[in-house]
């Protein structure tokens, strides 16, 4: 079963979904992984409280890129209030393979950026608060 998840992660890394930027986003946020300096930016447009469009850009390892790619797929069409409820456990479950603590930081970078954006507060998404 882990093989399936590994393939799934690699597929998202090689063929990222929703990669790019939005010209006039309602929400834009970027942040980095303090351990490696990799940065991710997420742009969102919101219509009637629902995520209408989402794009991500930046750079990072396979886990961070695959994780944010999956996350963008997950939140398209989701009410922003529900996006706020996504937990780190949700993201780790979505990835589906055991990760070392360093890799967990990689996996959660996208969520940290997303939470920073939807809460609109700098630093709101400290890993401990996810």
CB of 27 to ligand FES, least distance (A): 22
How are strands ordered across the β-sheet holding 39-47? 27-32, 39-47, 50-58
Nearest approach, Cβ of 91 to ligand FES (angstroms)? 13
Residue 55 or 112 having the CB closest to ligand FES? 112
Nearest Cα to Cα of residue 102 among 36, 37, 20, 44: 36
Measured from the CB atom, the residue of 55 and 105 that comes closer to ligand FES is: 105
The least distance separating ligand FES from the CB of residue 62, rounded to whole angstroms, comes to: 8
Residue closer to ligand FES (CB basis): 25 or 58:
58
Q: Is 39 left (phi over 0), alpha (psi -120 to 50) or beta?
A: beta
Give residues in contact with ligand FES (CB under 6 A): 33, 36, 38, 60-61, 63-64, 106, 109
Q: CB 109 → ligand FES: shortest distance, Å?
A: 5
**Closest-CA residue to 51 (of 79, 28, 74):** 79
Nearer to ligand FES, 61 or 124 (CB): 61
The contacts of residue 78 (CB under 8 Å, 6+ apart) are 50, 51
């Amino acid at each position: 079963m882990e093989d399936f998840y590994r393939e799934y992660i690699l597929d998202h890394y090689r063929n990222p979904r929703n990669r790019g930027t939005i010209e006039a986003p309602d929400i834009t946020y970027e942040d980095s992984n303090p351990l490696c300096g990799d940065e991710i930016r997420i742009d969102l447009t919101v219509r009637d409280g629902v995520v209408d469009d989402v794009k991500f850009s930046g750079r990072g390892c396979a886990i961070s890129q695959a994780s944010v790619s999956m996350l963008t797929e997950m939140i398209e069409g989701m009410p922003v209030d529900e996006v706020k409820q996504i937990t780190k456990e949700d993201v780790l479950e979505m990835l589906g393979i055991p990760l070392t603590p360093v890799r967990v930081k990689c996996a959660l970078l996208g969520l940290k950026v997303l939470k920073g954006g939807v809460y609109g507060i700098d630093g709101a998404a400290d890993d401990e608060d996810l």
